[in-house]
Every structure is written in structure tokens, then in C-alpha cells.
Structure 1
């Protein structure tokens, strides 16, 4: 869709080149949502592609994912064999149920900043203990765990002019055993519940709930829970108002599927039977 109210496009090449943020500005990365509907309030786009951030960087301690990394770039990452949680990457990428055109254009950072409950990059990075680096409009940087970055349906911790620079995922998180469950109301519909689980070497079980809730919620169990303890913890920490509701699923059904998928994950990671 043409954005006929845009009068200028800025092309910064370094952070110092970023223009002073004003009303009517918008960051442009992939633009798959930006150009999908009218944006009559916008007058200037700030194109991030000329910053040329490396899409993916592996260091001794972290996998760094640039906010401008596309879904196809992330999915194509060749992961070391000891990254036991690596399947979560492709599983969450495919939860988009999007065309190859979207995969090659949409960005990881854009998915986080849209902050939709069903955002699969939110699911992935929160499950893997990702930490956002934010370039503040007032200068300096702020680091926020992804689990705290998204605060509700299309709400997050960004203030006007803030820019998500990258997400750092600890290598240790990528070496945990993992499990993935996702369900949609329709065969090719938006995720209505997307849960991930991981198991540390010390037997700590971590469950991350997304899509069924308005924000990501994480539960940690230092000792492996039985089915009753898992259900009780979910019902205590995910209260009624936290379940999302829209045409893709009502809260009661999302709650039911959250409990069911959580028990499946517990069974898979602890090698116990589930009904």
C-alpha cells in the first residue's frame, strides 16, 4: 500500500546520523505491517537498512540477533550440534504461516515491536532468555529481558523515539533440551496458544506461555513438577484477565489448550506419559 502522507525518508548510516524523533516519524525495517494498511498519521520514515547491522553474530556467550534480521536469515542459521534447543528456531519461524515474500522481508525486531500476543519471535526469544538492547531516544542504552519487554496486546516498554537494536540470546539457553507446542483455531490460522518448555542440566523446568496470553508468561520449576503441581502453578500465575480474546480464540478455550499443551511439554521433557 502506498503511504501518500510521507514527505521524507531518512537514511542514517550510523547512530549519530539518526534524526531527532518527531511526531509523525516511524522506523522502517521490513515494513510488512507498515505498508499493509493506511498510516495517515505518518510524515517521515527512518530507514534502518543502511545501518547494515550484521543479521546474526555468534560469540562465546551469546547469539546476537539484530532487530533487522529477517525471518529467512534466522531460519537459515546453521546451528552447532550442541544447541539442543535449535529446533525452536525453525518451529517458531514456521508459526508465522507466512509466504516466502514475508519471510524474506519481515524482521525479528519488527515482530517484537508489534507486540502481538501471537508474535512467534516473541515466543522464541522469551523462551531462550533473550535480552533486548534498546537505543534510547534520550541517548544511552537500556537492556530489558524479552519476557518483560512485551507488556500487553500491542504494548511494550518502548517510548517514542526508542529503537530496538538487537536481542542477545545466551548460548547456555540454546544448549537446553526443549519442547514446542502450538495450536490454531483454523488449520492455517494465527497461533491461539504457543508454548515452549526447556530443561536445564540441573533439572529446572521452564515453561513459557505465549499467544494464549496477552503477554509472554514464564514459569520456572526448580524441581520437576507432577501434573497437579504444573496445573496449579499455571492457574495461579495466569489469571483470567491475562488470557487473550479475539476471533482466533476465546479465553476459555485458550486456557484449556494452555493447560493441555503444558502437560504435553512436561511429559515430553520429563519422559512421562500424558493422556
Structure 2
């Protein structure tokens, strides 16, 4: 979709350049997916040249500009990473353009990079317009459909995924009304160090949840991709299957 109100693209962009009417841009697939008549400039982060993946002592830092293809290639040895990458059901063209950070910032319930980051206990690194850094748990980054904790002028710099979580036993279930349709329910189970199983619920709810008791969930999504009652039923079914699989 053309953003006909945009008159300038700043590339590469850096902290301090943001002003009202600007939008930070990674791959642009989400940004160009719907109208944004309030935008006048795009600040290109992809041109910053950040390394897609950086391995640290206890975590992997995934740059916000890391594409889905780069994530699958670099961390594809971990089953849960590939499963979430394939949840896009997108062509290779999208895989080579869409970014991990863009998927989180779009804050769509069905965003699989949200599912992955939350299920693995990731941390989001945010950079303010003055260059200051703050860190937010991935589970708290998305606050609702299309909304995040990002403040004016802030951008998502990276997502840090703990190595022990990447290596943990996981189980994955995804449901849709159609074989190649948008995710309506996505549940990930992960075995914690103490043996307990954490359940991450996305797509079915307006924001991600890490829970042990599914009955506490109430913000079920209601749209053409599935009714709240159906999403709730499928979530409980998948949770039972995941618990049984991980127990075995």
C-alpha cells in the first residue's frame, strides 16, 4: 500500500532524528500493510547495519532488523524457532524482508515473533529519542491489539533470548479456520528449570499471556478468524495436549 502522505525517508536513521509524524521502519511489510495518513517521514533502521544475531554469554541478541529468513537460518536448530517462523505462512519474499522487530511492533495478536519472544522469556531493548536505553520483558511489550509500551520517539533495538530457554523442551500447537489462514490460536509450552510447564497463549487473545491457569484469560479475540468461544475451546484443548506431550 502506498503511504501517500510520506514525503521523506531518512536512511540510515538514528536516535535524535525522530519528530512527530515520523515512523521507525524495519522491513516495512507491516508499515505498508495499512493506511497511516498521519505519517510524513520514515526513519530507516534497516540501513543501520546491525548484526542480525549476536551470541552472548547467556543469551542471543536478535536485532530488531533481523529478517525471518536470517532468524530461521541462524537459530533454526531450535525447533520452536522454526515453528514460529513457519507460522507466518508467508512466501520466501516476505521471509527475506519482514523483520522480527517489525512483527513485535505491529502488535497483531497473530504475530508469531511475539509468541516466540514471550514463550522464551525474552527481553526487549528499547532506545529513546535521546539515545537512552530501557529494557522491558517481552511478555509486557505488547499491551493490546496494535498497541505496545513504546513511547513517542522510541524504537525497538533488539530482543534478547536466553540460551537456556532456547534449549529447553518445548511443545507447539497452532490453530486456524483455514489450512493456510492466519493463526487464530497459538499455544507454546516450555519446561522450566524446576520442571514446571509454562504456557504462552497468543493469537487467541488480544495480548500475549504466560499462564498456568487458563481460566484467568478473558480478552479473547473476536473477528472473522474465529469466535471467542471457539478460540477458548481450542486453547484449552491445545494446552492439555502440550502438558501431556511435555510430561511424556
Same-fold call, TM cutoff 0.5: yes
Distance 1:172 1:266, change over 3 A: same
1:40-55 matched pairs, under 5 angstroms: 40-55=37-52
Runs of 4 or more above 6 Å deviation? none
* Secondary structure in 1 matching 2:241: helix
Are residues 1:238 and 2:221 paired? no
RMSD: 1.5
What is residue 100 of structure 1 aligned with on the other side? 92
CA shift for structure 1 position 159: 1.4
Q: TM-score by structure 1 length?
A: 0.86
CA contact (8 A) 2:200 2:209 kept: yes
CA shift for structure 1 position 50: 2.1
Alpha-carbon separation, structure 2, partners of 1:104 and 1:132 = 22
CA shift for structure 1 position 96: 0.5
What is residue 8 of structure 2 aligned with on the other side? 8
CA shift for structure 1 position 32: 0.8
Q: Which is greater in Rg?
A: 1
- Structure 2 residue ranges without an equivalent (≥5): none
Are residues 1:259 and 2:239 paired? no
Alpha-carbon separation, structure 1, partners of 2:153 and 2:209 = 27
Moved more, 142-151 or 36-45: 36-45
What is residue 163 of structure 1 aligned with on the other side? 155
Alpha-carbon separation, structure 2, partners of 1:188 and 1:79 = 22
Tell me the matched-pair count: 248
* Secondary structure in 2 matching 1:206: strand
CA shift for structure 1 position 78: 4.9
- Structure 1 residue ranges without an equivalent (≥5): 81-85, 221-232
* Secondary structure in 1 matching 2:94: helix
CA shift for structure 1 position 136: 1.5
